[in-house]
């Protein structure tokens, strides 16, 4: 039986603008699904039905239908503040915090005509690659709820994959869009540094964080990215193409490109990285499909970078240093966060400056190594989605190593400021999604969207759905 969430986000927006469905009716449809299904999924920390329906009526009466996301249901990641709505940052420390003002990314989504249904779940202060916060239920991949959805945009990914939202905005400081997209079978796009000036995020030391979309289709991802992209008074955007809206590239899906293929990562010098058979199989399928489409492919091996791991660890720890917890409040933090705060506050200015310089030099090195390619192909994740509770809660060093081993190809893209897209290429024999990642040149999201559209046409991953669908 047909239901509204079976439409793509693009199609839902068309229906809204034609008057085939109203923002109130569409929001009500999703709110009913959230109420019925989310208890076993953990997509939302807070749901705001009354405020959502009031907002939907406001959009109907006062917002022009030309608004980019007119009446489309969305959610705010629980690291973003919305005035008057509980914002926990995934932490018991902030469990009852209600902000007086909204963050810029929230205001941008409102300006585009979106309707927020609540707060999508996130790990504590967005610091981990899994979403198992103590202020809410773990975010579970809807394909098999024994397994986690990744992080930090885990709740947003679950909501889209399970049909609780048409599309969702996430943020990515080390893979936080691409990891949960891969674990839930979605398209996840981290844009170039500066593409979304309102999405700098929380704890964005080193300029690592970028806001971007999670979607079921490449075109839906482009639709949401276009809605929040653009210059602002305080930001200089990255280089771009001359084809207008990024949605144009996603719809046309044109071009033949030269691609580098690698399974090496800058973590290889410091950690034992093993590529699982499932990750290898997804990569091999991508190579086969891209070759059939006429793209050029050649192997690439990243240069050794032993300074990367200690420098990134330093930035990660320093980013936690200003979490507003002192004395007994520290006991409200989860063990990993408490360890990060302690290590971050032990750093001196010289150590932080050295780490920032090393990562800036690494950025230049990566862009130089990638210069002869239009895009670089890697697996999305080295391992299949991890079981809920898999990450160590007692040993922070082991926890960090587990995160690196799970997702070795995402953080260095943030350091480099490059765009990257995760595509849900295949399913394992156990019924879990596995994807691949394409990394682009600065400002060339259009190339990633075009290649993604070509693969989507061949594989039709948008027709796969988890049991909750």
- Give φ, ψ of 459 to 5 degrees: -100, -30
Q: How far apart are CA 79 and CA 49, in angstroms?
A: 20
- 195 contact partners, CB below 8 Å, separation of at least 6: 210, 225, 229, 237, 238, 419, 443, 445
Catalytic residues: 77, 152, 176
Count CB atoms within 10 A of the CB of residue 251: 17
Check residue 237 and give its pLDDT.
66
Q: What's the confidence (pLDDT) of residue 235? A: 55
CA angle (207, 210, 211) in 5-degree steps: 155
Tokens standing for residue 298: 């050649």
List pLDDT tens digits, range 314-338.
999 999 999 999 999 999 999 999 9
Helix (H, G, I), strand (E, B) or coil at 210: strand
Alpha helices in 347-434 (DSSP H): 349-369, 396-406, 411-416
Residue 144 to residue 148: CA distance in whole angstroms: 9
pLDDT at 370: 98
Specify the pLDDT at position 205: 79
Contact 54, 109 (CB under 8 A): no
What does residue 424 show for φ and ψ, rounded to 5 degrees? -80, 80
**32 contacts: CB under 8 Å, gap ≥ 6:** none
Rg for the chain (alpha carbons), in Å? Answer: 20
What pLDDT shows up at residue 234?
54
pLDDT computed for residue 202 by the predictor: 39
Cβ-based neighbour number of residue 382 at 10 Å: 22
Q: Cα-flanking dihedrals φ and ψ of residue 440, to 5°?
A: -105, 175
Instruction: Report which DSSP code applies to 257.
Output: -
User: Average pLDDT per run of 10 along the chain, which is 469 residues long?
Assistant: 97 98 98 98 98 98 98 98 98 97 95 98 97 96 98 98 98 97 98 81 72 98 94 63 90 97 97 97 98 98 98 95 96 96 97 97 98 98 98 96 98 97 97 98 97 98 97
The token pair that represents 106 in the structure block: 């929230």
pLDDT at 203: 43
């Amino acid at each position: 039986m047909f239901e509204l969430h079976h439409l793509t986000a693009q199609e839902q927006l068309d229906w809204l603008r034609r008057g085939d469905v109203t923002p109130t009716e569409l929001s009500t449809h999703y709110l009913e699904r959230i109420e019925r299904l989310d208890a076993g999924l953990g997509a939302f920390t807070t749901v705001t039905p009354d405020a959502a329906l009031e907002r939907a009526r406001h959009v109907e009466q006062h917002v022009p239908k030309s608004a980019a996301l007119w009446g489309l249901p969305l959610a705010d990641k629980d690291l973003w503040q919305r005035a008057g709505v509980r914002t926990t940052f995934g932490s018991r420390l902030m469990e009852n915090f209600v902000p007086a003002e909204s963050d810029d990314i929230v205001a941008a989504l409102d300006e585009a005509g979106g309707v927020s249904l609540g707060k999508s779940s996130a790990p504590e202060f967005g610091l981990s690659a899994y979403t198992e916060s103590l202020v809410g239920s773990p975010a579970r991949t809807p394909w098999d709820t024994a397994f986690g959805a990744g992080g930090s945009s885990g709740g947003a990914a679950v909501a889209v994959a399970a049909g609780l939202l048409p599309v969702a905005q996430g943020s990515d400081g080390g893979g936080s869009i691409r990891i949960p997209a891969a674990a839930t079978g979605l398209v996840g796009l981290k844009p170039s540094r500066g593409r979304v000036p309102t999405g700098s995020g929380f704890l964005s030391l080193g300029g690592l964080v970028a806001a971007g979309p999670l979607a079921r289709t490449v075109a839906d991802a482009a639709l949401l990215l276009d809605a929040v992209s653009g210059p602002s008074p305080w930001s200089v955007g990255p280089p771009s193409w001359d084809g207008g809206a990024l949605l144009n590239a996603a719809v046309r899906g044109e071009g033949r490109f030269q691609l580098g293929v690698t399974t090496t990562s800058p973590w290889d010098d410091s950690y034992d990285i093993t590529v699982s058979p499932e990750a290898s199989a997804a990569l091999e399928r991508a190579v086969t499909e891209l070759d059939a489409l006429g793209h050029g492919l050649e192997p690439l091996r990243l240069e050794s970078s032993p300074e990367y791991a200690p420098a990134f660890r330093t930035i990660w720890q320093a980013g936690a240093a200003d979490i507003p917890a002192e004395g007994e409040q520290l006991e409200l933090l989860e063990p990993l966060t408490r360890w990060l705060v302690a290590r971050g506050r032990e750093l001196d200015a010289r150590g932080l400056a050295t780490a920032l310089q090393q990562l800036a030099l690494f950025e230049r090195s990566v862009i130089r190594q990638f210069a002869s390619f239009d895009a670089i192909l890697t697996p999305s994740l080295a391992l299949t989605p991890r079981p809920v509770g898999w990450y160590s809660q007692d040993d922070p060093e082991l926890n960090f190593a587990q995160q690196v081993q799970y997702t070795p190809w995402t953080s260095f893209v943030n350091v480099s400021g490059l765009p990257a897209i995760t595509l849900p290429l295949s399913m394992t024999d156990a019924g879990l999604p596995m994807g691949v990642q394409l990394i682009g040149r600065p400002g060339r999201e259009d190339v990633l969207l075009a290649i993604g559209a070509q693969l989507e046409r061949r594989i039709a991953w948008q027709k796969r759905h988890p049991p909750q669908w």
